[in-house]
Chain A
């Protein structure tokens, strides 16, 4: 029996499904800030471990036992200084890091009792205290007279620019978008960075001074790599991933079969969420953090049925168990071993998605079974991964940058194949595509640029 159009309920994409109060509740802080009392009680749980496992697990190597001890002794601002010394975006990381697979996973109290010290929440407690004072914890070294171009003002670029500025270099920070912050501003789930934290954090980072900002300026369009290399003493690229992987399925390019990252960016930039339309039934394709975020936020906007469809088993999903659970407790259905075949479009509207059931064959490879499952949908969001757009970096004088697996190849110091150009964050090969690793990349590159410029200075002086 074939599905006739009449038997489906009419397409339904509408704004204002949830009351203002409901939206406020649905998009409120995922982890409300700890009260002073909660922070002290939690800080008391830390053992001040030697060579602490949590520090080893933090990509930026924050001295966690020290900052927790500083909270315990009543000086959260000192704690914040300890954090910012290792990670200038410690405030955002405290909100978005998957701590359950980083520091908190290896906390000795997780091992001992299954209850790690809430490192992320304590980190937020400390950094909030300092940021709200409006003071900046670092002072710039005297001007070196050296100029560095940083392209891309996401976590990688901001981190790099800040550390270069601390070291006295003059930084020009370019970004194609109107707002700085990269995915902190355009990608992170709204309930993880409430109250315009991304914007406030950018202000905090820039308050070091010595960073000139040029928004709306795209590499490859308004500025060119060859010029930057010529005009600056060093160039850092933190371009992120500009493209999304295409879904090879019929109908997948329909207007309501959207790229999840772009949709989240719209959501993040919508002032009044009551005006943002959402389907009554939404299907999200993918198994990573973006899929989870898209699904949860679709639900929060009032979608009745939200389904994540992932082509492998649940254990293979990139999203952590904690995130999967978060989605499920918020009413998202996770269906696995389903791979998209066709987005069903009728009368110009998305009506459903057809997926084919998969299984692992004897060699552990994904195989199609031929069985088709149809899920009714008014909107389909594609969250099947992003890709690097190398165009901007290949042009200009001289050879393009060497790529590896479609992303920029870098060495341990984040140097690219071209002298004078460093890169980091999502746009480089071998990364983990996390905010915190992007911050670390920017920091490593800045340290290396600083070392290179200082060495150059010495040579020049000799």
Chain B
């Protein structure tokens, strides 16, 4: 059976599944239950200076649901821990003592002053915790006070604070990045420049999940008012994957250890983050939706998939997908596909037809020989994948690569690779003598 254990910047854990800094890790009680349930590590709920912050006393969460009230996106206006530093530190120490083989990382957020960091770091170190995570991500409340994403949005601050932590503590430092920024590479580079051992991402995305149309208040509303919160859960995974990939393939940050966060709900989500290079994944919403038990599915599923693929350890497949993330301009324009409908699986709902007919390329029939029948018209199909995504039956419509002549253009499909850099329609292509080769990013860690 596959070995799930990990060594992330020197922090060992029995499996790559960590609970992200959030309510599930706010107390000794929860963390003990989490370890008993099988989680490999925790990032303790963000600690701040005393006196502790206060939370609203009304609803702090909102959500987007799919069919069957499946929770797809989750929004919160919670702040960092609202319990005293003293209490948290004492609990961390006890937990770490009792779970030496599990990862216990402490998340921190104090004002942007060196003294403040200098004061808290030794106290955290004294607990025996394995590492630090700097919360530069919280997009609500704390940012109004010059912390959280207010720091995470200014690369210079990230670098400065990271350096303080590396200077005043011997613990490994993970910088947690906010996605509320235009280009994630800048804060990641700043973290690296400041000496960060790793980055983790994403924290939550500024959001308003809904508006109550009776009293015109954003949800969750507190006495008729609401403020934006942080969005997370399955809905944010694509954003997190992209940002992870951006860091993994940026020549300046490639190879920096990454802890992937954002919408991890199943073993598959975790495998995807790891395939992009993450050494561990962190989970919040899935645990908050289903309880700690979800980790059983994640562990068993990941192990079985690894067994089936012949990967003995996480390192065997970590980062395998990163080199396949490239720029649009390097995609092969001679890769021609057509949609194929499996008539045995088709239930004749017509969704593919109307999607293609109304909004795309009129490439799917609705009728054939006077009967309801859905079939791809190769002469029209551009291979866009829209029908695949709207079809309610999995694997009913698939994409097939074709060769020879493309019935749509009537032209022969070259078997060679060709990209936009030298396409005749590219105004700058004429100046080039040959294709621009796709740059290869060396993994700085290797």
CA distance A300 to B301 in the complex (A): 43
Question: Do the beta carbons of A73 and B68 come within 8 Å of each other?
Answer: no
Within A53-84, the residues touching B (CB, 8 Å) are 65-66, 69-70, 72-75, 77-78, 81-82
Taken together as a complex, chains A and B put the C-alpha atoms of A382 and B296 apart, in Å, by 49
CB distance from B82 to the nearest CB of A (A): 26
Across-interface contacts of B290 in A (CB, < 8 A): 48
Asked if A73 and B393 sit within 8 Å, CB to CB, the answer is: no
Are A70 and B68 closer than 8 Å at their CB atoms? no
- A241 touches B (CB below 8 Å): no
Partner of B304, one of A36, A72, A75: A75
Alpha-carbon distance between A82 and B299 when the two chains are bound, in angstroms: 12
Known contacts A73-B267, A75-B305; decide if A50 and B291 are in contact (CB<8 Å). yes
C-alpha spacing A77/B304, complex, angstroms: 8
Within 8 A of A (CB), among B385-406: 393-395
Are A78 and B394 CB-contacts (below 8 A) given A66-B293, A73-B268? no
Q: Is the CB of A66 within 8 A of B296?
A: yes
Interface string of A69-108 (1 = CB under 8 A from B): 1101111011001100000000000000000000000000
List of B residues within 8 angstroms of A44 by Cβ: 68, 70
Contacts of B394 in A (CB 8 A): 36-37, 40
Q: How far is the CA of A455 from the CA of B103 in the complex (A)?
A: 36
B297 within 8 Å of A (CB atoms): yes
State which residues 284-342 of B face A: CB under 8 Å: 290-291, 293-294, 296-297, 300-301, 304-305
B266 at interface, CB cutoff 8 A? yes
Report chain B residues within 8 Å CB of A37. 345, 393-394
CA distance A72 to B68 in the complex (A): 15
B301 x A78 contact (CB < 8 A): yes
Q: How far is the CA of A215 from the CA of B68 in the complex (A)?
A: 52
B233 to chain A, nearest CB (A): 15
Nearest Cβ on chain B to A281's Cβ, whole angstroms: 43
Number of cross-chain contacts by CB at 8 Å:
43
Chain A residue with Cβ nearest B266 = A73
Known: A50-B291, A75-B267. A70 touches B393 (CB 8 A): no
Specify which chain B residues have a CB less than 8 angstroms from the CB of A82 in the assembled complex.
300
Interchain CA distance A45-B70 in the complex, whole Å: 10
Report the nearest B residue to A68, measured CB to CB: B297
In the complex, what distance in Å separates the CA atom of A70 from the CA atom of B304?
11
Which residues of B82-111 are within 8 A (CB) of A? none
Q: How far is the CB of B21 from chain A (nearest CB, A)?
A: 24
A74 touches B296 (CB 8 A): no
When the two chains form their complex, are residues A66 and B268 in contact, meaning their CB atoms are under 8 A apart?
no
Bound complex: CA of A44 vs CA of B66, how far in Å?
A: 11
Specify which of B68, B297, B305 is in contact with A69 (CB 8 Å cutoff).
B297
Shortest C-beta distance, B165 to chain A (Å), equals 37
The count of chain B contact residues (Cβ–Cβ below 8 Å) is 19
Contact with A45, one of B68, B296, B305 (Cβ below 8 angstroms): B68
**Could you say which residues of chain B place their CB within 8 Å of the CB of A70?**
297, 300-301
* In the complex with contacts A74-B268, A75-B304, A66-B393 CB distance below 8 A: no
Residues in A with CB closer than 8 Å to B267 are 73, 75
A48 / chain B contacts, CB cutoff of 8 Å: 290, 293-294
Q: Is the CB of A78 within 8 A of B68?
A: no
What B residues does A36 contact at CB under 8 A?
A: 394-395
- 0/1 interface trace, chain B 258-296, chain A, CB 8 Å (1 if under): 000000001110000000000000000000001101101
Complexed CA–CA distance, A228 and B184 (Å)? 73
Q: Which residue of A lies closest to B289 (CB)?
A: A48
Q: Which of B68, B297, B301, B393 is most buried by chain A, counting CB atoms within 10 A of its CB?
A: B297
Give min CB distance, A219 to chain B, whole Å: 39
A40 to chain B: which residues have CB within 8 Å?
394
Of A45, A50, A65, A75, the contact of B301 (CB 8 Å cutoff): A75
- Return chain B residues, CB-CB under 8 Å to A72: 266
Nearest CB in chain A to that of B300: its residue: A78
Chain A residues, Cβ within 8 Å of B301? 70, 73-75, 78
Report Cα–Cα, A75/B307, bound state, in Å. 12
A44 to B394, CA, bound (A): 13
Once the chains are docked, how many angstroms separate the CA of A74 from the CA of B304? 11
Assembly CA distance A73 to B272 (angstroms) = 13
Count chain A CB atoms within 10 A of each CB in B291, B296, B300 and give the residue with the most: B300
- Interfacial chain A residues near B345, Cβ < 8 Å: 37
Interface 1/0s, chain B 174-186, versus A by CB < 8 A? 0000000000000
Using an 8 Å CB-CB cutoff, how does the interface string of B47-71 with A read, 1 for contact, 0 for none?
A: 0000000000000000000001010
Q: Which residue of B lies closest to A50 (CB)?
A: B291
A298 to B395, CA, bound (A): 42
Alpha-carbon separation in the docked complex, A172 to B70 (Å): 50
Asked if residues A66 and B304 are in contact (CB atoms below 8 Å), the reply is no
1/0 contact string of A350-361 vs chain B (CB within 8 Å): 000000000000
Complex Cα–Cα for A75 and B290 (A): 19
Q: Which chain A residue shows the least CB distance to B393? A: A37
Q: List chain A residues, Cβ under 8 A from B291.
A: 50
- Bound CA span A73–B299, Å: 12
CA–CA, A70 to B395, complex, Å?
19
Q: Which chain B residues (11-70) contact chain A, with CB distance < 8 Å?
A: 68, 70
Chain A contacts for B294, CB-based, 8 A: 48, 69
Chain A residue with minimal CB distance to B298?
A73
Kindly list chain B residues whose C-beta atoms are within 8 Å of the C-beta of A50.
291
> In the bound complex, what is the Cα–Cα distance between A36 and B300 (angstroms)?
20
Task: List A residues 1-57 near B (Cβ within 8 Å).
Answer: 36-37, 40, 44-45, 48, 50
Bound: A82/B266 CA distance, A:
16
Inter-chain CA distance A191–B166, complex, in Å, is 70
**Interface membership of chain A positions 220-246, coded 1 if the CB is closer than 8 angstroms to chain B and 0 otherwise:** 000000000000000000000000000
Contacts of B304 in A (CB 8 A): 75, 77-78, 81
Shortest CB-to-CB span from A321 to chain B, Å, is 28
Q: Which residues of A contact B296 (CB under 8 A)?
A: 66
Residue in A closest to B290 when the chains form the complex, CB atoms? A48
**Which residues of chain A are near B70, meaning CB under 8 Å?**
44
Which residues of A, 126-184, contact B by the 8 Å Cβ criterion? none
Cα–Cα, bound, A102→B393 (Å): 31
Closest Cβ–Cβ distance, residue B289 to chain A (whole Å): 9
- Complex Cα–Cα for A50 and B293 (A): 9
A291 to B352, CA, bound (A): 50
20 pairs, CB–CB < 8 Å, chain A vs chain B: A36-B394, A37-B394, A40-B394, A44-B68, A44-B70, A48-B293, A50-B291, A66-B293, A69-B294, A73-B268, A73-B297, A73-B301, A75-B267, A75-B300, A75-B304, A75-B305, A77-B304, A78-B297, A78-B304, A81-B304
Interface residues of A (CB under 8 A from B): 36-37, 40, 44-45, 48, 50, 65-66, 69-70, 72-75, 77-78, 81-82
Closest 6 CB pairs of A and B: A73-B266, A78-B304, A78-B300, A69-B297, A75-B301, A48-B290
Extra contacts, 20 of them, besides A36-B395, A37-B393, A48-B290 (Cβ < 8 A), are: A36-B394, A37-B345, A40-B394, A44-B70, A48-B294, A65-B293, A66-B293, A69-B294, A70-B301, A72-B266, A73-B266, A73-B268, A73-B297, A74-B268, A75-B267, A75-B301, A75-B304, A77-B304, A78-B304, A81-B304
